[in-house]
Chain A
Amino acid sequence: MLRQIEGSRAIAETVALCRPEVVCAYPISPQTHIIEAVGAMVKAGTLAPCEFINVESEFAAMSVAIGASATGARAYTATASQGLLFMMEAVYNAAGLGLPIVMTLANRAIGAPINIWNDHSDAMAVRDSGWIQLFAESNQEAADLHVQAFLLAEELSVPVMVCVDGFILTHAVEGIDLLEQSFVDSFLPPYEPRQVLDTKAPVSIGAMVGPEAFEEVRYLAHLRQLDALERIPEIAQEFFEATGRESGGLVRPYRIEDAEVIVVAMGSVLGTLKDTVDERRNAGELVGVLGVTSFRPFPSEAVRNALANASQVVVLEKAFSIGAGGVLSTDIAIAMHRDETILRTVVAGLGGRAITRRSLEKVLEDASHNQLAPLTFLDLDHEAVDRERARMQATRRSGPSAENLLRDRNTVSQGAKE
């Protein structure tokens, strides 16, 4: 049913339709509205049978999910940012054990400096953990992806993280078409674990594995992700046939057929990008967008095919590897393996800085005139950075840079207003 509701609410209600049996949560902005809503449904008895457990940390949240999943229960949790890092050891463990936990990641920057706003640094920090990572472009997709995530996770015994832009999507109220219980029940069969703690057939799970088999265990995990490359588009297709909605899949091209410049991005910025591309198209520029929905497994072949005819690829990333550059860009470069295509990285939207259509238009314009630097930081105040560099040069005890920069930028912006 189409309703005008908050993204978090839609995610929570969709998760409930998936009949999770154990939900554990520790609050962190901007994930809170999701777990509050699930908790209320359990408390009210509308989501039953389900155990909702208020844990003492994100580390415990993932650990409870591990125990529950290994006991054969469908387990769900949600987190963001520092919470994901705090549970990182258990995040790797869940994947290593092959437990099909589904987790919503309300994408948020990582401190210091502490920042509660959206970017993709958190998701990037666990990209090698063995979790499948799916990025939602809209709240509709965010909700829909959760059903697909449970199906995918349980089929392959691999945990799945649904990455949803914090605040931008989680806190936006939009028209969202929620699925029917009967559909979800038919789409998502009950969880049948490959391994389970069962007193009738005891097994040891999580035993030590030495050099004699560790590489094989890891390679098997890789193969399961490659299996996911097959299943993700199939599941999206089944979902499309049943609902008419294009949610999920590996990549999502938009007006790329004849595009000379293609912008690659993930998450909610894709909507703004599409609007921008429409506008530039009207101005006669041959530009297009490629959204990457499945970041892990990385759909190298689909990316390669989509970008085959572009003369320039601009990867717009909400995260970067400090001291190196783009993260998604690296995967794109390896997938393309084409020297003749110009590859550019634009880092944007860090710590919640708004990615405006105006700035994106400038990116596309610069790209069309081949004027983009290999690595660009969108809307970066270079002068403020230079001033802080000068302060650091001038005095040893220059103080905390984050605070200095904040003071600097506030002073300048206030001066400009007066």
Chain B
Amino acid sequence: MFQVRIHGRGGQGVVTAAEILSVAAFDEGRHAQAFPSFGSERTGAPVVSFCRIDDREIRTHEPVMEPDAVIIQDVTLIHQVDLFSGLSPDGYVLINTSRGFSELGFGNFFNEYRSERLMTCPATDIALEQIGRPFPNAALLGGFAALTGEITLAAIDKAVREHFVGSVGERNAAAAATAFDYVTSKAGEVARASTN
């Protein structure tokens, strides 16, 4: 089972992101479960959502305690919320920011982690460029596909177009593709740097 935790703020579409990811996995013939960290609906408050992906039926309904990947939609949550609780050293981290991972002031926190699995992606910038509005969801999911390989870009593309109809879907799909390429090339750089 692959478990994802998404952190963001109310109104940024944290729940939608988990749902689209689960639909993408479902479209690929896998079992998936997405659910929010149930709270009152307040814009701007820290919000968490979860997504599980498995090849078998998913029976559990506990929150994701030990995620395989953490997606951070809002970089201002860093140092405010316990974002990486339960994340194993093999886990993936994708943070929405135009800054590099090493610029975020984590210090030695990620020393034990695999650096090629720690990634930032300017998803909001991509969204502003492609969609014209600061909704980073689709871009982050494209980046997630590139980073983890847990889902294909094609599945993300399809799920995004299912969720957002018409031209909005087109533009969100474009944002996902852009972020996918961004993360793919950045991962390539990291890989080359570590082999050199």
Binding site for B on A (CB under 8 A): 4, 6, 29-30, 116-118, 138, 165-169, 171-175, 268-272, 274-275, 352, 354-358, 417
In the complex, which residue of chain A has the Cβ closest to the Cβ of B31? A175
Answer whether A173 and B22 are a contact pair too, CB < 8 Å, given A271-B60, A272-B60, A354-B63. Answer: yes
B103 at the interface (CB under 8 A from A): no
The 6 closest A-B pairs by CB, nearest first: A271-B59, A4-B26, A167-B38, A172-B35, A173-B34, A268-B61
Taking residues whose C-beta sits less than 8 angstroms from the other chain, chain B's interface range is 20 to 34
In the complex, which residue of chain B has the Cβ closest to the Cβ of A138? B59
Binary contact track B1-45/A, C-beta < 8 Å → 1, others 0: 000000000000000001100110011000111111011100000
A274 to B63, alpha carbons, bound, how many Å? 16
In the complex, which residue of chain A has the Cβ closest to the Cβ of B30? A175
In the complex, which residue of chain B has the Cβ closest to the Cβ of A30? B38
Establish whether residues B38 and A171, one from each chain, have CB atoms under 8 Å apart when the complex forms.
yes
In the complex, which residue of chain A has the Cβ closest to the Cβ of B33? A174
In the complex, which residue of chain B has the Cβ closest to the Cβ of A166? B38
A358 to B64, alpha carbons, bound, how many Å? 12
18 further interface pairs, Cβ-Cβ under 8 Å (given A172-B33, A174-B32)? A30-B38, A138-B59, A166-B38, A167-B36, A173-B18, A173-B19, A173-B22, A173-B32, A173-B33, A173-B34, A174-B22, A269-B61, A270-B59, A271-B58, A271-B61, A272-B59, A275-B59, A357-B62
Establish whether residues B65 and A174, one from each chain, have CB atoms under 8 Å apart when the complex forms.
no
Establish whether residues A116 and B60, one from each chain, have CB atoms under 8 Å apart when the complex forms.
no
Q: What residues of chain A lie closer than 8 Å to B60, measured between beta carbons?
A: 271-272, 275, 357
In the complex, which residue of chain A has the Cβ closest to the Cβ of B63? A354
| Cross-interface CB contact of A175 among B18, B32, B36, B39, cutoff 8 Å | B32
| Cross-interface CB contact of B82 among A29, A269, A417, cutoff 8 Å | A417
Q: What residues of chain B lie closer than 8 Å to A358, measured between beta carbons?
A: 65
Establish whether residues B62 and A272, one from each chain, have CB atoms under 8 Å apart when the complex forms.
yes
A50 to B155, alpha carbons, bound, how many Å? 38
Establish whether residues B35 and A171, one from each chain, have CB atoms under 8 Å apart when the complex forms.
yes
B155 to chain A, nearest CB (A): 11
A116 to B23, alpha carbons, bound, how many Å? 27
A282 to chain B, nearest CB (A): 15
In the complex, which residue of chain B has the Cβ closest to the Cβ of A116? B40
A287 to chain B, nearest CB (A): 16
Establish whether residues A171 and B36, one from each chain, have CB atoms under 8 Å apart when the complex forms.
yes
Establish whether residues A174 and B58, one from each chain, have CB atoms under 8 Å apart when the complex forms.
yes
Q: What residues of chain B lie closer than 8 Å to A138, measured between beta carbons?
A: 59
Establish whether residues A356 and B58, one from each chain, have CB atoms under 8 Å apart when the complex forms.
no
A119 to chain B, nearest CB (A): 12
Establish whether residues B59 and A274, one from each chain, have CB atoms under 8 Å apart when the complex forms.
yes
Answer whether A168 and B31 are a contact pair too, CB < 8 Å, given A173-B19, A175-B26, A355-B62. Answer: no
Q: What residues of chain A lie closer than 8 Å to B18, measured between beta carbons?
A: 173
List residues 43-90 of chain B with CB under 8 A from any CB of chain A: 58-63, 65, 82
In the complex, which residue of chain A has the Cβ closest to the Cβ of B51? A173
Answer whether A172 and B40 are a contact pair too, CB < 8 Å, given A4-B32, A417-B82. Answer: no
Establish whether residues A168 and B61, one from each chain, have CB atoms under 8 Å apart when the complex forms.
yes
Pairs across A and B, CB under 8 Å, 26 listed: A4-B22, A4-B23, A4-B26, A29-B40, A116-B40, A138-B59, A165-B61, A166-B38, A168-B35, A168-B61, A171-B35, A172-B33, A172-B61, A173-B19, A173-B32, A173-B35, A174-B22, A269-B61, A271-B58, A272-B59, A354-B62, A354-B63, A356-B63, A357-B62, A358-B65, A417-B82
Establish whether residues A356 and B65, one from each chain, have CB atoms under 8 Å apart when the complex forms.
yes
Establish whether residues B61 and A169, one from each chain, have CB atoms under 8 Å apart when the complex forms.
yes
Q: What residues of chain B lie closer than 8 Å to A269, measured between beta carbons?
A: 61
Q: What residues of chain A lie closer than 8 Å to B58, measured between beta carbons?
A: 174, 271
B31 to chain A, nearest CB (A): 6
Q: What residues of chain A lie closer than 8 Å to B32, measured between beta carbons?
A: 4, 173-175
Q: What residues of chain A lie closer than 8 Å to B19, measured between beta carbons?
A: 6, 173
A75 to B22, alpha carbons, bound, how many Å? 34
A172 to B61, alpha carbons, bound, how many Å? 9
Q: What residues of chain A lie closer than 8 Å to B82, measured between beta carbons?
A: 417
| Cross-interface CB contact of A352 among B26, B38, B65, cutoff 8 Å | B38
B59 to chain A, nearest CB (A): 3
Q: What residues of chain B lie closer than 8 Å to A117, measured between beta carbons?
A: 38
Q: What residues of chain A lie closer than 8 Å to B63, measured between beta carbons?
A: 354, 356
Q: What residues of chain A lie closer than 8 Å to B62, measured between beta carbons?
A: 272, 354-357
A357 to B36, alpha carbons, bound, how many Å? 19
A117 to B40, alpha carbons, bound, how many Å? 10
Q: What residues of chain B lie closer than 8 Å to A166, measured between beta carbons?
A: 38
A173 to chain B, nearest CB (A): 4
In the complex, which residue of chain B has the Cβ closest to the Cβ of A7? B35
A356 to B60, alpha carbons, bound, how many Å? 9
Q: Which of A175, A270, A352, A358 counts the most B-chain CB atoms under 10 A from its CB? A: A175
| Cross-interface CB contact of A173 among B23, B40, B65, cutoff 8 Å | B23
